[in-house]
Chain A
C-alpha cells in the first residue's frame, strides 16, 4: 500500500479534542500524487480489527468499489490503513461514508432484534414458570 513515491498528506475529516488546547487526529487521508480521488488510503487512529474488518466487509458489498482492504500497521501502534479504490471516477470518500452509515444501520438493527429476542425469551420463561404452578 505504501509503494507510492510522493505522498500528499491531508489531514481532513474528524478531529476529536481531548482537552483544552489538545487536538488528536482520528482520521487522515493519504493520496498518491498523480491519482485522482478514486484511490485513497485512510488512516484511522485508535482503531483495530473491530472496526477495520467489519467496515471492510460493508464497503466491499458496494458494487462501485473495485478494491477495499485494511491492515494494522504494527501491533504496537493502534491505527489501521484502509484503502479504497473505486470503479470509474467516484471519489473514494463516498463509499467510505456509505460503509460507515450502513454499518451503523446494521448494528442498530441487530440491537433492536436482539433486545426484542431477549424480552421474548424472558416473557416465555416467565409464562412457563407460571403455568407449572
Chain B
C-alpha cells in the first residue's frame, strides 16, 4: 500500500524537499503507469474540472482551476499577456511641443496610457493604411498651455500656486469622435482608464498640442497593447503534517509558515498544530532550517490545481 501511495504522490504532487524539488514534470501519460488509464477522456475531464472564483473586483481577478494541467494553464497565461487585443495610442501627430519632454519620449508615454474602449467593437487597421477610418481608429486631442498665475503670492515658491496648467494629466485628453463614433459611443465611455496619470510637466510659455490615433493591437506586437498589468498562475500549496505536532513544537511550527497557514488549537489541555489554510503560504521553506520540525512536514504543490491571478488596468 505504501507503493500505491508513493505512486499517487508521484502523479499528483510536486514535492518541495530540503535540497530540491521532485516530480516537477507531468508524468500521467498513457503507458507510464501500469494500472492507470491516462488516455485523454473529455468526459472525465469535464466531470473533474471546475473553476472557483476567489476574488473579483475592478482591478484584479483571482480564481482556481481544478483538474487541468499546467501546460494548458500556462497557455492561458501567455495568451492573456500577449494575444488579447486592446486599443492603445499608436500614432501621435505633434503640432506644437515646446515642453522639456522630447517628442518621441512624449509619444512613448502616450502609447502606454491605457484606453477605456472595448477592442471587440473595433477592427485591426489594414497594413499600409495611413489614414485610418472610424472602424479602426480612435482620436484624442491633447492641448495644454502653461501660463503664470497672476494671483500668486509675491514670495511663493510652490509651483501649484505660481503656475496654471503646469502638470499635464490624462484628464486633459479629449476624445475627438470620427465618423459615426459619436452615435455609437455615449459621451464619457471613450477615455483613458485613469484620469490622473501625469504625462508631462510644463512651465509658463510651454505648450503641448497634439493629436493621437489609437489602434487595436496585441501584446506580442508591443507591450502597450497588453490588457493585463500582469497575469500569473501557481500550483496550489499542499502542506501535510506527517506526525501530530504538539506543545511548544506546535507554536514553533506556526512561526515557520506565513501567518494563518498553521493554526494552534487547544485540545484536551495540549496545544496541537493543524493546517488551517495552506493557500496563504508563500513557501519560504523556513521549516527546513529547524532540525526537529523538518521531518514532520511535507511541503508539496498540487499538480492538478492551479490558482490564476490577473491584475488588470481595466
Q: Mark B71-113, 1 if CB is under 8 A from A, else 0.
A: 1101110110011000000000000000000000000000000
Q: Which residues of B contact A125 (CB under 8 A)?
A: 56
B69 on the A face (CB < 8 A)? yes
A61 on the B face (CB < 8 A)? yes
Residue ranges of B at the interface with A (Cβ–Cβ < 8 Å): 26, 29-31, 38-40, 42, 45-46, 49-53, 56, 63, 65, 68-69, 71-72, 74-76, 78-79, 82-83, 127
* Contacts A63-B39, A106-B72, A110-B51; A57 near B45 (Cβ below 8 A): no
The CA-CA distance from A49 to B81 in the complex, in Å, is 13
* Contacts A54-B71, A110-B65, A117-B53; A62 near B79 (Cβ below 8 A): no
22 residue pairs of the A-B complex, CB under 8 angstroms, read: A50-B83, A51-B75, A53-B74, A53-B75, A54-B72, A58-B40, A61-B29, A61-B30, A62-B40, A63-B39, A102-B42, A105-B42, A109-B49, A110-B51, A110-B68, A110-B72, A116-B51, A117-B51, A117-B52, A118-B53, A121-B53, A122-B56
Q: Which residues of B contact A1 (CB under 8 A)?
A: none
Contact between B71 and A53, CB atoms less than 8 A apart: yes
Please tell me which one of the listed residues B29, B56, B74 contacts residue A118 in the complex, with CB atoms under 8 A apart: B56
Q: Which residues of B contact A102 (CB under 8 A)?
A: 40, 42
CB distance from A78 to the nearest CB of B (A): 9
Residue ranges of A at the interface with B (Cβ–Cβ < 8 Å): 19, 48-51, 53-54, 56-58, 60-63, 102-103, 105-107, 109-110, 113-114, 116-118, 120-122, 125
The CA-CA distance from A71 to B300 in the complex, in Å, is 29
The CA-CA distance from A107 to B26 in the complex, in Å, is 19
Contact between A57 and B71, CB atoms less than 8 A apart: yes
CB distance from A13 to the nearest CB of B (A): 21
Dominant secondary structure at the B interface: mixed
The CA-CA distance from A57 to B72 in the complex, in Å, is 8
CB distance from B100 to the nearest CB of A (A): 37
Identity of the chain A residue whose Cβ is nearest the Cβ of B52 in the assembled complex: A117
Identity of the chain A residue whose Cβ is nearest the Cβ of B63 in the assembled complex: A117
Q: Which residues of A contact B30 (CB under 8 A)?
A: 61-63
CB distance from B127 to the nearest CB of A (A): 7
Which of A48, A49, A105, A113 is packed against the most chain B CB atoms within 10 Å?
A: A113
The CA-CA distance from A48 to B78 in the complex, in Å, is 10
The CA-CA distance from A60 to B27 in the complex, in Å, is 10
Given contact pairs A62-B30, A113-B51, enumerate 4 new A-B contacts (beta carbons under 8 Å).
A49-B74, A51-B75, A61-B30, A113-B49
The CA-CA distance from A57 to B71 in the complex, in Å, is 7
Q: Which residues of A contact B53 (CB under 8 A)?
A: 117-118, 120-121
Contact between A121 and B56, CB atoms less than 8 A apart: yes
Contact between B29 and A60, CB atoms less than 8 A apart: yes
CB distance from A64 to the nearest CB of B (A): 9
Q: Which residues of A contact B52 (CB under 8 A)?
A: 117
